[in-house]
Chains A and B, each alone.
Chain A
Amino acid sequence: AQSVTQLGSHVSVSEGALVLLRCNYSSSVPPYLFWYVQYPNQGLQLLLKYTTGATLVKGINGFEAEFKKSETSFHLTKPSAHMSDAAEYFCAVGNNAGNMLTFGGGTRLMVKP
């Protein structure tokens, strides 16, 4: 069975500060990993994904994530937070069949002016 743990249900940063959202996963097979963002009253938007290859993955809006197999982690970072980054962020792992995502509980990012 696969699972995802997101450390910190709420993270608050100042505008311009580094954003770090933590994600640890459990998977019995080589993982496919994703970060999604959800703005209020909206669906999920894919930020970035790791399937194979380079372990540092760049996504939209300046976000990136690094797959670390030894740490079973896939943390999301952005060098400088913007007010528009305030949203809920979800880490997810895909199953081997490629037809199901298991999500973490989410991290709400707040950006202070």
Chain B
Amino acid sequence: DAGVTQSPTHLIKTRGQQVTLRCSPISGHKSVSWYQQVLGQGPQFIFQYYEKEERGRGNFPDRFSARQFPNYSSELNVNALLLGDSALYLCASSVRDSNYEQYFGPGTRLTVT
């Protein structure tokens, strides 16, 4: 079975631009979570979506938004990019919203110049 997939693998953006990252969960998983991992640090929770509804939100500014589609895939949007947004963005899926067993994708490496 395919694991969590994310696209693109890498991208480079300029300060002030907007970016959209995509995630497809494992088949049968209805929950998707997003994490930001700055180089040299542990991942930080951004959002969790379950059945297309936001179920959790971390301490991130409103420039960060996300949504989940009927097929349970998800997009993370970041507006007005800052240099500090440069990070590895990880998507994780789980069967349901209150299931700790999260499976992570390989991540999208975002570089903001």
Name A residues whose Cβ lies closer than 8 Å to a Cβ of B.
Answer: 4, 32, 34, 36, 41-46, 49, 51, 90, 92, 94, 97-106
- Note all chain B residues with C-beta closer than 8 A to A102: 45
In the bound complex, what is the Cα–Cα distance between A66 and B65 (angstroms)?
38
In the bound complex, what is the Cα–Cα distance between A36 and B37 (angstroms)?
14
Q: Is B48 an interface residue (CB 8 A)?
A: yes
Interface string of B19-54 (1 = CB under 8 A from A): 000000000000101010000111111001010000
The dominant DSSP class at the A interface is strand
Q: Check B101–A46 contact: CB distance below 8 A.
A: yes
Q: Check A104–B42 contact: CB distance below 8 A.
A: yes
Q: Give chain B's interface residue range (CB within 8 Å of chain A).
A: 20 to 34
In the bound complex, what is the Cα–Cα distance between A34 and B94 (angstroms)?
15
- Note all chain B residues with C-beta closer than 8 A to A97: 55-56, 98
In the bound complex, what is the Cα–Cα distance between A102 and B42 (angstroms)?
9
Q: Check A100–B45 contact: CB distance below 8 A.
A: yes
Q: Check A103–B56 contact: CB distance below 8 A.
A: no
Interface pairs (25), CB distance under 8 Å: A4-B42, A42-B106, A42-B107, A43-B4, A44-B43, A44-B90, A44-B92, A46-B101, A46-B103, A90-B43, A94-B100, A98-B97, A98-B98, A99-B33, A99-B56, A100-B56, A100-B58, A101-B35, A101-B43, A101-B45, A101-B100, A105-B40, A105-B42, A106-B41, A106-B42
Quote the shortest CB–CB distance from B23 to chain A (angstroms).
11
